């Protein structure tokens, strides 16, 4: 019998580390040593918290570079980093370090520019809630996706990638245990980029992919 898909919800709790930076050199030093959960929060946390920042930039490092040290070139380079392209958070950390080091080499004065506001390092703690809902039929799950909370979308489509051995989202991981009829659906899910978007848009993309596969568009 197919294992049930267990629907979860979540919240990402922000916890201050006490670490801060007021120059780019200080930021670099802190990034190299900070807990990797900080890297996770500053790339992914913005999806679950209310956004009052510049929507042009997805991660907190890019936002700080643009608005606190006013370096557009660095901000744009940091903004192009897609965390889904990296095997794990340590590889992602290394990429951020490389981008900042490269920019510092281009401009010696950037090491000493005082930011208009400090960067405060925050680590993340995910709190998971079991909704109690279980699904055995992918078509039934398809009907629910448009109504899922953004916390559920985050947990099953984003956070899952650091939990599953294969680095898959939970939907794909569950469909792997069913049969080959779901192969086209899994291929369509794999095309969805979870980073350069919002959770509401991501939910809509997933809903459309599932609806097309099960021909639910007219339902």
Q: What is 3-18 written as a DSSP string?
A: PPEEEEEEEEEEEEEE
H/E run at residue 25: helix 24-33
β-pairing verdict for 119-135 and 5-21: antiparallel
Alpha-carbon dihedral 121, 192, 148, 167, rounded to 10 degrees: -60
Q: So what's the pLDDT on residue 127?
A: 96
- pTM for the model: 0.91
**Which residue did the predictor score with more confidence, 42 or 108?**
42
- pLDDT-based confidence at 54, cuts 50/70/90? low
CB neighbours of 143 closer than 8 A, spacing ≥ 6?
216, 219
- Measure the CA–CA gap between 69 and 117, rounded to whole angstroms: 8
3-class SS string, 92-120: HHHHHHHHHHHHHHHCHHHHCCCCCCCEE
Q: So what's the pLDDT on residue 24?
A: 97
Percent of the chain with pLDDT over 70: 95
What tokens does 151 get? 């916390």
Q: So what's the pLDDT on residue 53?
A: 53
Question: pLDDT tens digits, residue range 156-214?
Answer: 999 999 988 888 999 999 999 888 888 999 999 999 999 988 999 999 999 999 999 99
- Measure the CA–CA gap between 22 and 37, rounded to whole angstroms: 21
Phi/psi of residue 129, each to 5°?
-120, 130
């Amino acid at each position: 019998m197919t294992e049930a898909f267990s629907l979860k919800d979540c919240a990402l709790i922000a916890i201050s580390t006490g670490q801060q930076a007021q120059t780019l050199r200080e930021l670099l030093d802190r990034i190299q040593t900070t807990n990797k959960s900080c890297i996770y929060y500053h790339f992914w946390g913005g999806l679950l918290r209310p956004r009052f920042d510049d929507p042009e930039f997805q991660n907190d490092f890019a936002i700080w570079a643009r608005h606190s040290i006013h370096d557009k070139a660095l901000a744009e380079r940091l903004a192009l980093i897609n965390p889904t392209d990296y095997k794990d958070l340590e590889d992602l950390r290394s990429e951020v370090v490389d981008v900042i080091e490269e920019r510092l080499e281009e401009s010696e004065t950037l090491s000493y520019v005082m930011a208009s506001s400090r960067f405060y390092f925050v680590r993340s703690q995910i709190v998971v809630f079991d909704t109690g809902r279980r699904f055995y039929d992918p078509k039934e799950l398809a009907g629910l996706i448009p109504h899922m909370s953004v916390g559920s979308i985050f947990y099953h489509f984003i956070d899952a990638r650091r939990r599953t051995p294969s680095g898959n989202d939970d939907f794909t991981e569950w469909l792997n245990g069913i049969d080959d009829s779901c192969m086209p659906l899994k291929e369509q899910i794999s095309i969805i980029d979870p980073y350069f978007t919002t959770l509401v848009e991501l939910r809509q993309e997933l809903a459309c992919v599932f609806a097309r596969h099960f021909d639910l568009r007219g339902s």
